[in-house]
């Protein structure tokens, strides 16, 4: 099996929103803002090539489904579907993907399921052969969102996934489509039923830990629905990955794809062995 980090469409979002109640005097040491106080964010996906004979894509990023005014509102940088280019660099097309694992269905993680926006045309699914794997608890949230996060969902997406006939809802550690090769755990601090996938010694951190700076326990996002619970979940998650030597895969870190977990003498978590990309990383 090979692991690849694939870049999707990138974003620029308000730094204050991304760092929650942390003051700008702190987080501005880590990352620069533009004139609108926005910071650069990746929407990075993980590809497992030949995982038990399957090509498995973990998330799809934000994609290019937004019409131009919404693309501007949400700071999406590119107007083409960048993930399709990244798949081509890995020698694949979206038609070669056998399964797509979605940590949750917020548009910056699931929008890449959809074809790029075209005037006069409604949304349509890509990945015609893939099983779409979603956590059962989060599926319920997506169908009945709270006013706090309703705008984070794509209204048509649940219906399209159901109509595909290739939707699998998961509520345990493993899925039928992927068997024992992928292990799932769950978190509720960002959104109910966030599903975290572990494969080949790497865990997809999704929005539990968007990037290196959020490894620090007190740092959460303004988008998190339950920050105190998220901090507790993050502490348990990082402790487990440190003990077992599991690497962290970051979806939103603009410069770092993968890192190891560290903990100093004061008990503060951090990262080491940072890698900007994975390109055919062999896993036994």
pTM: 0.97
Half-sphere exposure of 135 (CA within 13 A, CB side): 25
- In this structure, what are the phi and psi dihedrals at residue 132, rounded to the nearest 5 degrees? -100, 115
Domain boundaries, the chain: 2-282
177-195, pLDDT tens digit by residue? 999 999 999 999 999 999 9
6-48, pLDDT tens digit by residue? 999 999 999 999 999 999 999 999 999 999 999 999 999 999 9
Q: What is the pLDDT of residue 130?
A: 98
Share of the chain above pLDDT 90, in %: 99
The token duo for 277 is: 């990309």
Burial of 38 (0-12, 13-18, 19+ CB in 10 A): middle
211-260, pLDDT tens digit by residue? 999 999 999 999 999 999 999 999 999 999 999 999 999 999 999 999 99
Q: Residues 6 or more apart from 136 whose CB is under 8 A from it? A: 169, 170, 171, 193
pLDDT at 105 over 80: yes
CATH topology of domain 2-282: Metallo-beta-lactamase; Chain A (3.60.15)
pLDDT at 284 over 80: no
Share of the chain above pLDDT 70, in %: 100
Q: Residues 6 or more apart from 15 whose CB is under 8 A from it? A: 24, 27, 28, 31, 33, 37, 38, 39
């Amino acid at each position: 099996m090979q692991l690849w980090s694939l870049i999707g469409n990138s974003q620029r979002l308000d730094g204050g929103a991304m760092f929650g109640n942390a003051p700008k005097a702190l987080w501005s040491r880590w990352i620069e803002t533009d004139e609108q106080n926005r910071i650069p964010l990746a929407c990075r996906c993980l590809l497992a090539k030949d995982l038990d004979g399957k090509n498995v894509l973990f998330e799809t990023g934000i994609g290019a489904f937004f019409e131009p005014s919404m693309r501007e509102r949400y700071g999406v940088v590119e107007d083409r579907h960048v993930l399709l280019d990244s798949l081509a660099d890995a020698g694949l097309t979206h038609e070669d993907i056998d399964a797509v694992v979605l940590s949750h269905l917020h548009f910056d993680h699931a929008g890449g399921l959809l074809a790029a926006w075209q005037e006069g045309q409604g949304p349509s699914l890509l990945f015609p052969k893939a099983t779409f794997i979603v956590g059962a608890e989060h599926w319920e949230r997506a169908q009945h969102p709270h006013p706090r996060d309703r705008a984070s969902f794509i209204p048509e997406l649940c219906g399209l996934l159901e109509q595909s006939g290739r939707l699998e809802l998961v509520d345990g550690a493993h899925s039928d489509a992927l068997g024992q090769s992928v292990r799932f755990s769950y978190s509720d601090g960002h959104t109910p039923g966030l599903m975290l996938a572990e494969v080949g010694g790497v865990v997809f951190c999704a929005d539990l830990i968007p990037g290196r700076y959020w490894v620090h326990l007190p740092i959460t996002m303004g988008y998190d629905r339950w920050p105190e619970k998220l901090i507790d979940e993050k502490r348990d998650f990082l402790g487990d990955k440190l003990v077992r030597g599991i690497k962290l895969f970051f979806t939103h870190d603009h410069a770092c794809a993968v890192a190891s977990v560290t903990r100093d003498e004061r008990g503060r978590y951090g990262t080491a062995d940072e890698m900007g990309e994975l390109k055919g990383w062999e896993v036994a």
